[in-house]
Structure 1
């Protein structure tokens, strides 16, 4: 892994060519199941870009979202678009992505959150992310909407010294088009 390097950059620092490389990586890693809305969700925050030599091999981003818990709006770093090329998996590149993103979350947010696939869950739990045990919902118009299908796949992480929210109270995420979580 000596030829591996990680770069952190804001979306505003990524030109069209690099954004095209990121999109191609995501399309490949998700077998064509990564939508335009999914890509939109991954933009506007910080990206962890992992290279093997000159080739982009892994990616993830963290974007700001608001989540309401017990009448308080929390600044949440929401992890999006974590992917590693198929031929490069199980070599620590996903952990390199997450280490970069957790560093951003630890410096800028009250907590981190993400929605994990069954395939990705082991990576997140191995890094100290915890399955949220409470209700999940969104602040959709005209009133909040429960999202029971997201329960069990939403993970939280708090920086050192932080405390996980009380699962007896729900987490209500800001609304967005496409998959809310």
Structure 2
């Protein structure tokens, strides 16, 4: 099975419905309208078989203040593998494709990991952000302590040493301030 990269705008309504069904099933029904909205508008990595989507992930653009300036960040959303196809490396294939997009198009990558997903991301070189996690909300900057310890970053190999985002050989530190969005901010 191969990964296909495609933008949301290139997916048919039927294809989008099939992806949403995969995500709803994979997250045991805990994948609502706002979660779906966060998954749209970027590049999707899809693996399909004769039954439809087997594995999916998306990377969407977010603005994040890091190191005193706002950056373009590839934020990973909706990573899931159909239950009958898990533990076969498909999640890793999807993440590899998304990491390539991040490496080519963004300053760095970020995501909020579940306990199950954290193992996959850590094994691929994603690092837990060691500093504060915040969001620029309607009333100003709001700290999100519940996201600290579950927010991971992917720093492209081209990132210069000493960049405030963190060198891949060390632990990322400092404060990340994400743009605000409805639903789960991260």
Q: Same fold (TM over 0.5)?
A: yes
Q: Secondary structure at the match of 2:40?
A: coil
Match of 2:78 among 78, 81, 88: 81
Match of 1:42 among 18, 39, 42: 39
| Contact 2:65–2:178, Cα closer than 8 Å, also in 1 | yes
| Contact 2:66–2:164, Cα closer than 8 Å, also in 1 | no
In structure 1, the partner of 2:2 is 5
| Contact 2:7–2:41, Cα closer than 8 Å, also in 1 | yes
Structure 1 Cα separation of the partners of residues 52 and 12 of structure 2 = 16
Does 2:175 match 1:170? yes
Is the deviation greater in 162-171 or in 148-157?
A: 162-171
> Which digits, 9 at most, give the CA deviation of each residue in 1:149-175, with x for residues without a partner?
000000000111225615552100000
Q: Secondary structure at the match of 1:123?
A: helix
* TM-score in terms of structure 1 length: 0.95
Structure 1, unaligned runs of 5 or more: none
What pairs up with 1:1-181 in 2 under 5 angstroms? 4-53=1-50, 55-162=52-159, 163=163, 165=165, 167-181=172-186
| Contact 1:157–1:164, Cα closer than 8 Å, also in 2 | no
Q: How many residues align?
A: 178
Structure 2, unaligned runs of 5 or more: 167-171
* TM-score in terms of structure 2 length: 0.92
The alpha carbon displacement at 1:141 in A equals: 1.2
Is the deviation greater in 162-171 or in 65-74?
A: 162-171
The alpha carbon displacement at 1:71 in A equals: 2.1
> Which digits, 9 at most, give the CA deviation of each residue in 1:41-98, with x for residues without a partner?
0000000001234631000000000000132001100000000011111100000110
Moved over 2 A (4+): 52-55, 166-169
